[in-house]
Every structure is written in C-alpha cells, then in structure tokens.
Structure 1
Amino acid sequence: MRQETDPRDGDIIEYLDKGRLRLAVILAEDGNKKRYRAVSEDSRELVLTLRQVTHALPKQLSPTLSHEQLGQELKSIRLRAEQLVVNVDASDLWELLVGEMEEVELSTLADLAHGEVSAVTCLSTASLLRDDTIYFKHRKDSLYEPRNHEQVEALKAELAVQERRTQSREVFLETLVKALDSTPDERGTEFDKVMTDPLLRRYMEMLLHLAVAGENATDTGEACELLEDLQARLDHRLKGHASRKAFHLLVELGHFSPDENLFLLRHQLPAEFDDVLEEAAAALVAEGPRRLREALELGARRDLTSLNLFSIDDLETQDVDDALSITRIPWGWELGVHIADPCFHIAFDSPLELEARRRGATLYLPDRRIPMFPVSLSEGLFSLQVGELRPALSFLFEFDDNLNVGASSIVQSLVRVSHKLDYEGVEDRMEHGSSALDDDLRKIYEVADLLAHQRMADGAVSIDIPECKVRVDDDGRIWVRQRRRDAVSRMMVSELMVLANACAADFCVEHHLPAPFRTQEEPDPPMDERDFEHIPEGLALAFALRRCMPPAITSTHAGPHFSLGLPAYTQATSPIRRYQDLLTHFLLHGFLREGRVTIDGESAHLALSQADAAMQSIRNVERDSGRYWMLRYLEETLDQVREATVVEYVEKRGDAALVVVHDTMMRVRVSLTRRVPLGEVVQVVVNQVNPRADTVAFRLAT
C-alpha cells in the first residue's frame, strides 16, 4: 500500500516485487511521474512506482553510498529483523491492545514488542503481523487494527481446519507414495484405507474428478497442485497433461483398469440397481408364474400358446422382446408379431417404471451391457424365453393368398415361444431347410419383402450402410463384426418391426393416445435424382443420401416419417430395452384394457422428456465407447492394409477426401495422390492412433 507521504531520498522502504516483499533505498525521484530510482538488497538499481511501495522504515541511508554498501546495509537490517521475530508473539501484543485502540501505528507496535522504534524492529514487527494475521488486520500504510475476540476465535478455528487439511494432505501423499512402492495386491488395501477416511477421501475424489472429466474438468486447481507435489515425490514418472496423469495414477493404484470406461463415469449412468429395486424385481419373479397361470385360466388375455412362435436375435441375446408366427387361415395367412409385455407386471409410475424412465434404455457397450430393468426381469420374467408362458402384445395381420394386406389387430395375449433362432441360422434354414419351420420362415420373408417394396413405392428411402459392431470378450480380445442391413434375415425382422410399429402408430392416432411418435421431415431442398447420377451404387451413394436426410425427432405429436415412407410411426417393439417403447406399451395397454386414454398428454410428455435426457447420455456413451474400442482395435492391427471407399471430397478442388474404411466403417480424412472418382476403392493404413486422446489418422498405403 502506498504511503500518505511520498518517499524521500534515502528512505528505506519495503516494496512488492512479483508478490514478494523486498527492501530498497530511494535514490531520487525518476522525473515527475511518481516513479523512483532505488537500490535493492542485491545492490541492483531499479525503478519503482509509488503503487509498489508498502511503507517506509524509520531510518534513512545516504544515497551517496555505493550500491554495494547500500545493499549490504539492507541485508543487515533484514537479517537482524528475522532474528528478532522469534522473540515476539502476536497474541501478546493483541492482549495489550484489544478493546483499547481501534487503530495502531506500526511504530507503536514495534515499541511495545521490542522496546524501541527502529528500522529493524519495525521490519521485524511488520513481518510478524504479516505471517500471523489472526490478531491484527492491516488497514493501510503502517496502520493495524486489533481484531475483536469473536474474530480471533473464528480465525483460530479456520486455521485449525487448514492445519488439519495440511496434515491430511501430507498423509494422503505419503500413503499414495507408499502404495505405489508396494505390490499390486497391497495397493488395493492402501486405496481402501484412503477411501474410508473422510479427510483423505476428499483428495482422492479430487483426482477421480480430474481423471474422469478430462480436459473439460473445472475447479481443479487443488487437484493439479496435489499431482505436482506427488510428481516431485515420484521422480515425475506420471506423463501427460493433468487429467492424463490423474488417470495413470489411478491405473497404477489398481482403481482403474487401463481401458476404464471414463465415458460411463463422466455421464454418471447407473450401472447397478439398488436393493429396493432388486427386491421388487425378486417379488415379481416369485409371483409371476402364478399370476400368468391365473390370467390363462380366467381368459383375461387371448390364449395364443398354440401358435408356433420363434424369436430371431443375435446368438448372445438373452433379453428377447419379440417373436414371430405365421398361421394358415381359411382366406390366407395370419402373421403375428408378438412383443414382450412388461406392463402385465409393472404399473406406470411404479418404482421399476420410474427407474426404467431414469435409465432411458439398455446401454450396450463393447465389453458389457447395462440393462434398463434388473437382469432377473430383462433376461428372465419379461423375456420371451423358450417354453415359458409369457404375456405379450400381439400384432396380428391377415393376408390373402396373394399376400394382399387385410385386417390387423392388437391384442393382449399369452404366448409361449417354441424356437430361439439366430440370424445366421435363419439364413441357412431359408436357403437349405426343409422343415415346416423353414417353410414358415420363407413365407414370412416373402411377406416382408413385399411390404418393403410397397414402402419403397410409397416414397421410402433405403440407405444400405453396413453396421460395424466392436466387441470385447472375457479374455480381453477385441472383435469387430460387420452386419449388413440387407441380409435376408435382418431385413425380414426389421421390416416386420416396422410393420408392427406403424400399426401401433395408427392405433394411437385413431384413439388420440399421446404416444412417442417418430417423425422426419422431407429433405430441404428436396432430393433430385440428377444430383446423384454421377455417384455409383454402394457406399458413396449411401453416404450421399444420408447427408441429405434431416434428423428424426420424437414427440407426442404424430406426423409423417419421410425415409420410412409412413404417415405415422412410433416404437413399440423393444419395451424391455427402450423406454420410449415401454411408454407406448403403457398407452396401448391402458386403452385395450379400459377403452380410454389412461395416461394424459402432460404425463406422457413429462415421462418422455425425462427418458430423453438419459437417452442422450446413452447415445453419447455408446458412441464414444464404441469409438474408443475401435481405436484400440486399430492399435492392435496397426500395420494392416485396409480397403476404403472414397465417399466425399473435403473441397471442390484438391485431393483431401473422406473415405470409409471397410472393416470398421469409420469415415476418415485421407490425402490422395490424385483426385479419383467417388466410389473408387483405395488402400490405406493407420498412420497414428491414440485411443485415450481419441485421435486417429490414416494415410494411403505405399
């Protein structure tokens, strides 16, 4: 703080230099700009501004002395002042003055403390009060205010807390160093010790937050300081920026695996179900068979257990929520799409329904699956397991012998699945099989193919982009599997799900049910076939078409879905895995049971909004997790030459292109040696990849 009286030639002053207080002697005013030439303790001449000067000490030195002599004098004053500080306690001064004076001069305090006023005693007293701020408050210049008793007690308590934190911080750092110097098995014990102590856990949670939030972490100053102190004790063995250091530390401690899913932690998606929900699920499982038998005996639902139902899923699927049937009727065929009906077991706004709403959907990750319902329900009571009596929402469609569509209906039913099939097995059966089931499959495909062509005629747009799924098995091996959407078995199941969902949408529109409708506007500007004439069939055309498509949106208001070629569309075929479908089931279930709308628009909209928030997080986590493991796959197959299709050029001129790498379906930028036609296949290799940094670069193979 500046003096009320400007410094004079020869004054010894304290000044601020980069946050530190130093001594200097004023030589002379430097012009008329409140700037002063001075000599510092290290005998350097410098220019000080009035703002830098805190106060002058009660002594002068002759400006005519040499710089070396002035520096030596200042050092001597500093040394003697430091020796005096240890002989005085600020509390003793405070006891003499509290309640007696509102403000006191530094010189008075120096006299009380040391019995004389000098440059040495004033500097010593100022240093004492600067280090111990509990008893006096520095007002301005050389004035100090004795704090009252309440203020002193509050500051003492605050200081005690800070001291405990400092001690716990030191214990925390020592514990980490000890843990890192121990065996991997012992590290877990040390980590548990930290997490059971509230004071130590606070520091670990800081590092956890920094590691999980990554570069988007906020309020991480203390965590970064912790890491720097730890780095000094670990000989700087943690590498990377702060969040990466925190991550590697947690890996070394055994709390994280090297492939820890930070995306899941970042979005705070629940992985487990609490005990109350697990108990509720167990109660349903215990009561389920009895309730189903009663429903069958009482005829409360249509008995379709005589139908030959079969499910078609991936080989590993256990949460089976749809099955198919086809039956000969006098005027043709009855096709059945039977969807698992959780609404038989749980009520809207019940704890399990609210939990499903909070989760939004089953989360599918490369190395694990986190269900929307407890496993005892999603893979047990709710799932259409072979041989088990199950409630269903059955969509029944009649076709004549020429496969012209006739009547359709939605019924609450009881079913029993006879066969669990997988997609590859269905392909083989349809091509080579000779059983009655194989004939049923071929007939269903015939229906599905006809329905697909009808939708295309009605304006639907088919975009065939293969889907690549990355999986990690229990041994940590990474597998990449490509699924073609136009595979016969997948096309058949997909088309029949579209049929059932369109039927559900029509029913909801007819009966004014506020279902979660999926709508998609027409492209703007409209698609013109001439814009695509120069693009060959295949990936280049598929990606060009996809770029034209506006996003589909979900709301409780019905409208056309452009790419499906339908006037209305909802989703009702995955109620075990997706909340939107479950909500549609509740609406259909209520109307079929009571003949009225049982969930009003406001309640449906609220439920949908709550689930949508979770769904956004799920989409992000699934996308980012899939990409991480795909980059890990590329890391393991770094030298492999891969084929890629040129699908787009970055600019109208130049050779920078976007290509789709066939074995991963990743769209990446590559610099070509020349501009080749869209759709041409080139060979590329990975140039560099860093899964944790989410970076990958390809180059043309040489």
Structure 2
Amino acid sequence: MASSRVVRLRSRKDGGAARTLRDGLVQIQEELQVSPDFPAVVQEAAARAADAPRLPDLDRTDLALVTIDPDSAMDLDQALHIERDGDGYVVHYAIADVAAFVAAGDPVDTEAHRRGETLYGADSKVPLHPKVLSEDAASLLPDQDRPALLWTIRVDEVGEGTDVVVERALVRSRAKLDYEGVQRQIDEGTAAESLMLLREVGELRLEREAARGGVSLPLPEQEVDLDGDTVRLEFREMLPVEKWNAQISLLTGFAAASLMVYARVGLLRTLPPADPRDVKRLHRTARALGIEWPAEVLYPDFIRALDPSRPAHAAMVVACTRLLRGSGYVAFDGEVPADPQHAALASEYAHVTAPLRRLGDRYAGEVCVALCAGEDVPGWVTEKLHDLPATLQESGRRANRYEGAVLDLVEAELLQHRVGQSFPGVVVERDEERRTRGVVTVQDPAVEARVSADRELPLGEDVTVTLVVADPSSRKVEFALEG
C-alpha cells in the first residue's frame, strides 16, 4: 500500500528473514509472470554479442568520465564529466550504447520488447537484458573501453542548455562512485573539479526548473535493511548530489526532445496538465491541514515550499501526487502531437539516459544520433516507433505492481509479530468519499499502510494506531485508529 519505493537493500547477514523475503519474491514473480532468468537462446545470443560489439570510430577515452550510482549498482548507464567553458559549462554525458550489442529482431531484442524495463524490489531484480550485457559488457564499468552515445551539451552561465551534439564514441570511465561518497567529497571540498561543477550546474538547473514552472515531489523513499532474522525499514531523504545528478539526466532528456520535435520524429515522455478539479481539491486539503496556500500561488511554487519533515506538510506532499498521475509516451514521425509536454517538467521531454534499464531509451537515443549525424533514422527504429508507447505503458504498470507488491511483502514480514501493538503515526491520505479510510505513515518502523476508523480520519494530524493485520502470505498490512 505504501507509495514510497524501495530504493535498495542492505543485507548484512543472511538469515530467516532474508529467506522468507526471497520466497515471497519468487511468489510475486510467479503471479506477475516475470523472471530474472532468460531463455537459453537469449542468453546465448547475449554472450555472443558481448564478445563482438560494434565499436565506433570516434575515440573519446581521453575524457575523465565517472559514474555516480548506488554503491551496489552494476548496470551503469551513465558516466559524466563537466568542465568550464568561459562563463558557462560543457557537460559530457556518456550513455551505454545498447544498439552496439543488440540488433533489431535478434533474441535479445525480442525479449527486451517483451519485458519493457528492468523491475526492482528489495534484493530482487528482473533485468531488461541478460547480465552478461547489462552488468558487464555494455555497462560503463570503470577502466573498461565501452561503446557509448556521447552527449556534449553546452550550458550557459544561468544553466540553460544552448547547444547539443550526440555521437557514437568509445569511452572509458575512470571510477565507479556512489552518492554518499561524492556528497562527502563535495561537502569537504576535496572532490575533483568536474564533481564540484556538478553542484554548480545542478543548482543552476534547479533554479531554471523553478523559473520554468517545473516541479518534483520530495517524497521520502524507503530502504530495506536485512540483518539475519531482523528486517528494518527506514525512510531515506534524497541527498543533494542525487538531485544535481538527476538534473543532468533531465538536461539531456530536454535536449533529446528538442532535437526530435524540431525534426518531427521521435518518442517523448508525456504528462497531461493537472486537472483543475484536483487542484481545487488540494486547496481544500491544504485548508484542512492548516497550511496557507494563497490563491495567486501556483501549485509548483506551493509544492516547493513544503517541508516534508513536518507532519502536515508530509501529508500535503502525498496528497499532491494526484497531480502527477497519467504519465505516458507519444511516438511521432512527420507530425508532432498538439501538446507533447510533460506537465510536471513544464517542457517537452524524452527518456534517453537509461537504455540498459528501459527499452524506449534505446530507440529515442538512436533517433537523436541519426539527427545529429544528418542521417535518416534507421528503419528498425521507425518500424517499431508507433508500437512503443503501448509496450512501455504496459511495462510501467507491471513495474509499479512489482515494486508495490515487494514493499507490501517487506512491511508485512517486518510487522507480523507485532499485531495488536500501538504505534504513533500521521494520517497522510484520506479517502474523499469514505473519509473513515486512508493511509497512515508510521515512522518507527518506517511504514505507510491502510488505516481505518469509526469516525472521520484527522488528515495530517498525529495519531495513535493499532496494528490489526500483518500477513506476509497475502502481503496485507492494516492499522486501526485508536480512541
């Protein structure tokens, strides 16, 4: 039931909890008909491709690129290097070149279309491509020469992108860095210049996002910690370096969308404008929570002013997720859709930076490479282009179901021996029609779950709840309001 995603697992020692979790993950995979394993013909094709990639002529192994990811990640899609350019900057962003290994219609490609994207949950991963590619030959691992799509984006002194070129190049990452280590180096002032510039460019891009009217919700994420027979869940706030790094990915997605819209061919990520009725409803929610929302303040500015460490504001953040529903994809070749914008980003936008993990990124990247080279978009791209939105939409729904089921399993496993106990919490969501039902956030352990009462739930207020259900077999957790 929780709306926050499990971002990663820390497993200190194997034990009963880990085994129970793994058994539950197998059950979830069977229910959704997904598997981390690949048919033998796909594995064999991937192994052959890993041994014989199509290497580019351009050699840019001189660039001191680095990857920045969670420390356990091995499917490294992106490597970056930033340098000054007068008053502005040059951002080099290398993206794994999956098409150097995977040919249209081969077994790996066919299986990737069936899967759509990598599924994540706790210590489980259902990858889009076999690991011999996604975590080895095609991954931008350190000290390895790799084919990549190299984006070179010039950024001016206020953080606006001014020019972009993407081309196939051979690259070599210098280091595999993690968020915590990079944040520490930047805070201490010991980071390399490229990483210090990541902060500069990231902060400028955040300012441009605000000026543009874009918004992202500061939802807390949940982290699973396994230690033998003990399971813990913790809320984890995003580090500043994660936000700066995300802004480089967004910058690249904006540049890709600009290229494709200008050429009238491509694949965009979309989100419709917020429904005015939802905005009015959120104004009422803000009043109920005692949060001032002046009529002249637009919702992106209102959301940016929220402090999720305050209970009422945390409830408001969860309520605002209603505005970001309905995301999708649109493909076009010859006629740009009437309104292809991503409303939350306040711009046209394309996914191009994670081709190891998302099928559509490979196609959008190929379009951009062809456009920058002045060549026709490959036929294998245009042939599949209009089928991709439906494929990606379905894989996105499957990913949401998978991640939600895994988190429900972890929460039920964590709480199964505490039925009948009381917990302090905050009601963060209330059903508009059945106001006696909603969602409560419990801080210790860090759980979001259904809550019911025999009276109207007090939205955004501190409450005490009793755990009434915690069943790992059904993955159900439910609380009841006390008093």
TM-score tier, shorter chain, comes to 0.7 to 0.9
1:76-99 Cα offsets, whole Å, 9 max, x none, are xxxxxxxxxxxxxxxxxxxxxxxx
8 Å CA contact retained: 2:329, 2:392: no
Q: Does 2:448 align with 1:666?
A: yes
Q: Does 2:428 align with 1:647?
A: yes
Equivalent position to 1:571, from 351, 360, 363: 351
Percentage of pairs with the same residue: 25
Partner residue, 1:274: 39
8 Å CA contact retained: 2:43, 2:130: yes
TM-score normalised to structure 2 length: 0.80
TM-fit CA distance, 1:426: 1.8
TM-fit CA distance, 1:609: 3.2
Partner residue, 1:261: 26
Partner residue, 2:461: 680
Partner residue, 1:543: 318
Q: Does 2:232 align with 1:484?
A: no
Q: Does 2:203 align with 1:428?
A: no
Distance 1:651 1:402, change over 3 A: closer
Rounded Cα–Cα distance in structure 2 between residues aligned with 1:652 and 1:267:
31
Partner residue, 1:98: none
Q: Does 2:85 align with 1:305?
A: no
Aligned residues: 433
Distance 1:268 1:481, change over 3 A: same
Q: What SS does the corresponding residue of 1:354 show, helix, strand or coil? A: helix
Rounded Cα–Cα distance in structure 1 between residues aligned with 2:216 and 2:330:
24
Q: Does 2:220 align with 1:445?
A: no
TM-fit CA distance, 1:471: 6.0
More helix by share: 1
8 Å CA contact retained: 1:657, 1:672: no
TM-fit CA distance, 1:575: 0.3
Structure 2 letter corresponding to 1:509? V
8 Å CA contact retained: 1:460, 1:564: yes
Q: Which structure 1 segments of 5+ residues have no match?
A: 1-255
Q: Does 2:390 align with 1:634?
A: no
8 Å CA contact retained: 1:459, 1:562: no
Q: Does 2:325 align with 1:553?
A: no
Rounded Cα–Cα distance in structure 1 between residues aligned with 2:35 and 2:390:
18
8 Å CA contact retained: 2:50, 2:138: no
Distance 1:542 1:672, change over 3 A: farther
1:56-94 Cα offsets, whole Å, 9 max, x none, are xxxxxxxxxxxxxxxxxxxxxxxxxxxxxxxxxxxxxxx
Rounded Cα–Cα distance in structure 1 between residues aligned with 2:212 and 2:183:
28
Structure 2 letter corresponding to 1:631? A
Q: Output the aligned Cα RMSD.
A: 3.1
Partner residue, 2:301: none
Distance 1:361 1:656, change over 3 A: closer
Structure 1 letter corresponding to 2:46? A
TM-fit CA distance, 1:342: 0.9
Rounded Cα–Cα distance in structure 1 between residues aligned with 2:187 and 2:262:
40
Q: What SS does the corresponding residue of 2:265 show, helix, strand or coil? A: coil
Rounded Cα–Cα distance in structure 2 between residues aligned with 1:422 and 1:636:
35
Which structure has the bigger radius of gyration?
1
Rounded Cα–Cα distance in structure 1 between residues aligned with 2:434 and 2:128:
49
TM-fit CA distance, 1:692: 1.4
Partner residue, 1:521: 273
Distance 1:273 1:492, change over 3 A: same
Distance 1:637 1:508, change over 3 A: farther
8 Å CA contact retained: 2:127, 2:357: yes
TM-fit CA distance, 1:336: 2.0
Structure 2 letter corresponding to 1:494? A
Distance 1:607 1:652, change over 3 A: closer
Q: Does 2:242 align with 1:467?
A: no
Rounded Cα–Cα distance in structure 2 between residues aligned with 1:417 and 1:539:
39
Distance 1:701 1:336, change over 3 A: farther
Distance 1:400 1:282, change over 3 A: same
Partner residue, 1:167: none
Rounded Cα–Cα distance in structure 1 between residues aligned with 2:157 and 2:249:
22
Rounded Cα–Cα distance in structure 1 between residues aligned with 2:155 and 2:84:
10
TM-fit CA distance, 1:275: 2.4
Partner residue, 2:473: 692
Rounded Cα–Cα distance in structure 1 between residues aligned with 2:457 and 2:392:
46
Rounded Cα–Cα distance in structure 2 between residues aligned with 1:515 and 1:338:
20
Distance 1:554 1:257, change over 3 A: closer
Q: What SS does the corresponding residue of 1:407 show, helix, strand or coil? A: strand
TM-fit CA distance, 1:390: 1.1
